[in-house]
């Protein structure tokens, strides 16, 4: 009985293992680039502006405080930071979490909407290249990431500007302006902007990855819409600890919906019956797993008799 229960558990665990090709950089063709990065201290009023050509590369790191191999990814990103004009943002896993207190619903919602899978560690470069896991594709993660950062964005001439007004009597006011030539992007695409509220440093010694200090954690994402200029009153989140929140202006290119050039053909009775038969068959990989598992169970039982 114990052997059977073990086999069932093994099959269930194998069924939830993702098929992601960890370690291999993947070009993201279904989402547009991410750029921006001008930022200000959330505690004081100020203005920040940059030409598009001077903006840093945007690196998004999906992580969790219990994720031990996430530490390798974050250390590799730290190692290459001085040699690259880049800005790293750490999105902590939130949905379903009972250990990591540094994420947010808005951050996870954006990650799911844009990148679909929530697998820590995942690093995304300029919104166009994704690398999952901590196993390098080349000699080292540092080499991989340096190579990923060579995929420069052609943003053209323009600028990104952020203004921030702090008042004792009301919520702060954010103003933004984006000057950009849309001919540098795919036809019929548009740009949506957002504020990423970032906690510079958080102390959390209770995570399973044995780290104590976490840098540049995205506390929340505040959508600004597709207007290239505007102002908005901002309700700020509470920092996990301390008082070191920053406000970062980020722009995302939204690609047009792909056109379905092939008209849908309703299945005939014969086709649907074949589909039903196929859908009832497990994949070859699963059949192999079940066969191996059952063979192992029978072998163990024979040895116990």
Distance CA 24, CA 22 (A): 6
pLDDT in tens, 201-252: 999 999 999 999 999 999 999 999 999 999 999 999 999 999 999 999 999 9
**Local structure of residue 35 (DSSP, 8 states):** E
Helix (H) or strand (E) holding 291: helix 284-304
Predicted confidence at residue 279, as pLDDT, reads: 32
- Write down the CATH superfamily of domain 21-254: Glutaredoxin (3.40.30.10)
Q: Which residues, given as ranges, of the chain have pLDDT below 70?
A: 1-22, 260-305
Beta bridge partners of 161: 49, 177
Backbone angles phi, psi at 76, to 5 degrees: -65, -40
Contacts of 45 (CB under 8 A, 6+ apart): 164, 165, 166
> Do residues 24 and 53 touch, judged by C-beta distance below 8 A?
no
Q: What is the DSSP string of 56-122?
A: PEEEEEEE-TT-HHHHHHHHHHHHHHTTS-EEEEEEE--TT-SS--S--HHHHHHHHHHH----SSE
């Amino acid at each position: 009985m114990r052997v059977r229960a073990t086999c069932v558990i093994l099959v269930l665990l194998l069924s939830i293992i993702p098929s992601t090709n960890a370690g291999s950089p993947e070009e993201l063709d279904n989402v547009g680039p991410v750029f921006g990065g001008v930022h200000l201290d959330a505690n004081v009023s100020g203005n920040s502006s940059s030409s598009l050509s001077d903006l840093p590369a945007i690196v998004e790191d999906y992580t969790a405080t219990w994720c031990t191999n996430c530490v390798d990814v974050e250390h590799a990103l730290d190692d290459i930071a001085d040699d690259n004009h880049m800005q790293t943002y750490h999105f902590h896993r939130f949905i379903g979490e009972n250990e990591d207190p540094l994420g947010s619903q808005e951050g996870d919602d954006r990650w799911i909407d844009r990148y679909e899978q929530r697998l820590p560690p995942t690093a995304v470069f300029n919104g166009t290249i994704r690398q999952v896991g901590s196993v390098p594709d080349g000699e080292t993660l540092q080499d991989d990431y340096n190579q990923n950062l060579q995929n420069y964005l052609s943003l053209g001439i323009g600028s990104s500007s952020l203004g921030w007004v702090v008042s004792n009597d009301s919520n702060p006011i954010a103003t933004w302006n984006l000057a950009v030539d849309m001919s540098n992007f795919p036809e019929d695409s548009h740009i949506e902007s957002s504020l990423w509220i970032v906690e510079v440093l958080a102390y959390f010694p209770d995570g399973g990855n044995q780290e104590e200090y976490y840098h540049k954690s995205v506390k929340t994402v505040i959508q600004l819409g597709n207007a290239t200029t505007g102002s908005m009153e901002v309700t700020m989140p509470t920092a996990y600890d301390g008082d070191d929140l920053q406000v970062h202006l980020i722009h995302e290119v939204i690609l047009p919906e792909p056109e379905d050039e092939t008209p849908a053909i309703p299945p005939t009775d014969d086709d649907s019956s074949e589909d039903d038969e196929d859908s009832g068959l497990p994949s070859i990989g699963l059949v192999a797993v079940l066969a191996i598992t059952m063979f192992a169970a029978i072998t163990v039982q024979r040895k116990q008799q």
